[in-house]
Amino acid sequence: MLAFPANVHESPPRIAMRTPKHIPIWTISLVLSTTLAQGQNFGPRQTITQLARHAISLYATDLDGDGDPDVLSASLYDGKIAWYKNLTADTFESRALGGHRFGHQRRLNTGKLLAEDVFAADLDGDGDGDILSATSKNNTISWYENLGSDNYGPEQVITTAANNPESIFATDLDGDGDADLLSASSYDDKVAWYENLGGGSFGPQQVLTYTADGAECVYATDLDGDGDADILSASRWGGIDWFKNKGGGNFSSKKFIYNTNGATSIFATDLDGDGDADVIASEGIGNKIGWYENQDGSGSFSNRKIITTAVDSPNAVHATDLDGDGDADLLSASVWDDKIAWYENRLDTPTKDFGPQKVITHKADHATDVYAADIDCDGVTDVLSASAYDKKISWYRNLMGAPTCNVVFCDTDVNNVGDVALSTCNCSGGSITLRLVTPFTKQFTYPLVGLGTTPTSPTGVSELCLAGSTIGRYTLDAGAISTAGTFSVDLLNANSAPGGGVPAIGGALCNGNTWRFQYWHRDGMNPSRFSKGISGLIN
């Protein structure tokens, strides 16, 4: 992670980076001529917190066991390692370690400035996510035990032998089933690992190299197809290297991949669909993001293939499927142009490349990190960012939500009241038809709509499943009674039933929220019956 000297003021001069010997390197920020198409299939920026002074790192995973991803952050100037409870209803509750809201928090890392990185993994084998932190003021890598019920134990120091730790990562490195620790530290040029001895106890630092000049980032995944996790490192002056896992906690000497100019971050996943892990890296000095093809599945990598140069001091990269086509797209955070952007993976098309930069936002002031997770649990991957100058951790809703159309969330229709479906979840066509087909004819029937984050749980069969503060009723285009048992309504051009409470539908539906629908046979059946319930994320 990009780090600044401890005496730099809150809005420092634009120092692009420093060397491992504390020598600042001054650069002139270039104004790029990229056309900024705000949003580009993502919703507006939504702030999780603006209390992270010089936010520099973030991570997302389920910490409280409720099934949705919570968010973690590390911030330099206040030294905070903090987490934000995902309340599922598109809001976050900001907490410091120890289970206290910001403003009323008891910080477990009091007095430690320069929090550099944060990560989460099950370190003690009890099935929940513990928290790892790296702080550079005291050269400390620590962990906090997840005690359950949103509580964490005191700081447990793993090591102080990493001089200016910039990056941490945890995964099973020695094949014994628990998560070991990796670190990259820039002042001693070390990449090292620490064996998990069980129950969250760690062994001494085991150095993989002392020559990762300005070690900046570390990552681990299987690069050679033998089933264990190999290690990747990126260093500012030493380039990109990897270390083969030879089994039993033994590693090869570093293997050269590419000599970059100011590497700032590294990531690995299968980009070209051939089943092996390729490498992605950003270059803060050269203003480039490139990828390196794993050519034979055994860790033989190609030369750098440029994805973009339309970034000013890129500081972080990440890759995951954003558009639902099954391949990994790229995300980037760049410092001096304040951009969070993504790049469509087109390696399986005739162009065999990544698409042009699509800017999610250019207002993440001094963007330092980017991550991806399904924050709102709608089936598509959203984007998160950390930005230093505005102290914000933010998220952006993925609006490419076709996979969430016509999701059956309630099926108590044992009496076959009817099947219900939407024609589309895309408002661009000017109409969205809600249709019911039922064997019961001549029933007085209403279509119902609700905007709720979760459906209700009916106590019996064929009951109302909609949840939310408002449940609305539409009038039908062709009347409320059908002799054929087929009902349909154009939602974008429909009217509210008398007293139905349906909002101005055309605009209200097309807002990137998940709406839920049921049909109600109000009269003609004893008792009245409800169809299956479906939901759709409508854009």
Is the pLDDT reported for residue 3 higher than 60? no
pLDDT at residue 40 in the model: 84
pLDDT, tens digit (0-9, with 9 covering 90-100), for 424-456: 887 767 788 888 887 777 777 778 887 654 455
Please, what sign has the CA dihedral across residues 113, 194, 370, 47?
negative
What is the number of other CB atoms lying within 10 angstroms of the CB of residue 24? 14
Separation CA 31–CA 18 (nearest Å): 22
Report whether pLDDT(20) > 60. Answer: no
Amino acid 496: pLDDT: 67
Predicted confidence at residue 453, as pLDDT, reads 45
What is the rounded average pLDDT of the residues 344-351? 94
Nearest Cα residue to 136 out of 153, 160, 120, 156: 160
pLDDT in tens, 269-297: 999 999 999 999 999 999 999 999 999 99
Signed CA dihedral, 323, 328, 333, 334: sign only: negative
Identity of residue 392:
K
**pLDDT tens digits, residue range 180-209?**
999 999 999 999 999 999 999 999 999 999
pLDDT at site 178? 97
Q: Are 429 and 423 in contact (CB under 8 A)?
A: no
Percent of the chain with pLDDT over 70: 76
- The residue among 378 and 181 whose pLDDT is bigger is 181
The per-residue pLDDT for range 520-534, each reduced to its tens digit, is: 776 555 666 778 888
Rounded distance, CA 97 to CA 384, Å? 20
Considering only 99-103, 124-128, 146-150, 211-215, which range has the smallest mean pLDDT?
99-103
Give the pLDDT mean for 111-135: 92
Residue 243: pLDDT over 90: yes
| pLDDT(334) > 70 | yes
Under the banding of pLDDT at 50, 70 and 90, the label for residue 4 is very low
Give the phi and the psi of residue 195 in degrees, each rounded to 5.
Answer: -75, 130
24-28, 400-404, 417-421, 438-442: range with lowest mean pLDDT:
24-28
- Tell me the CATH class for 403-538: mainly beta
pLDDT at 89 over 60: no
Whole-angstrom distance, CA of residue 67 vs CA of residue 14: 40
pTM of the full structure: 0.72
Structure confidence by residue, pLDDT tens digits, 132-143: 999 998 999 999
Q: How far apart are CA 532 and CA 419, in angstroms?
A: 6
pLDDT for position 525: 56
Mean pLDDT check: name the lowest of 93-102, 295-304, 462-471, 494-503. Answer: 93-102
CATH class of 15-400: mainly beta
Q: Which of residues 22 and 119 earns the better pLDDT score?
A: 119
Could you tell me the residue ranges of all domains in the chain?
A: 15-400, 403-538
Q: Does position 10 have pLDDT exceeding 90, yes or no?
A: no
Amino acid 492: pLDDT = 81
Question: Which one has a higher pLDDT value, 539 or 315?
Answer: 315
- pLDDT for 272: 96
The alpha-helical segments, DSSP class H, found in 9-72 are none
Q: What is the mean pLDDT of the chain?
A: 82
Is the pLDDT reported for residue 418 higher than 80? Answer: no
pLDDT at position 19 is 33
Q: Quickly state the pLDDT bin for 88 (edges 50, 70, 90).
A: low
224-234 tens-digit pLDDT: 999 999 999 99
pLDDT band at 26 (very low <50, low <70, confident <90, very high): very low
Structure tokens at 148: 């359950």
* Token digits of residue 365: 């002031």
Beta pairing partners, 359: 341
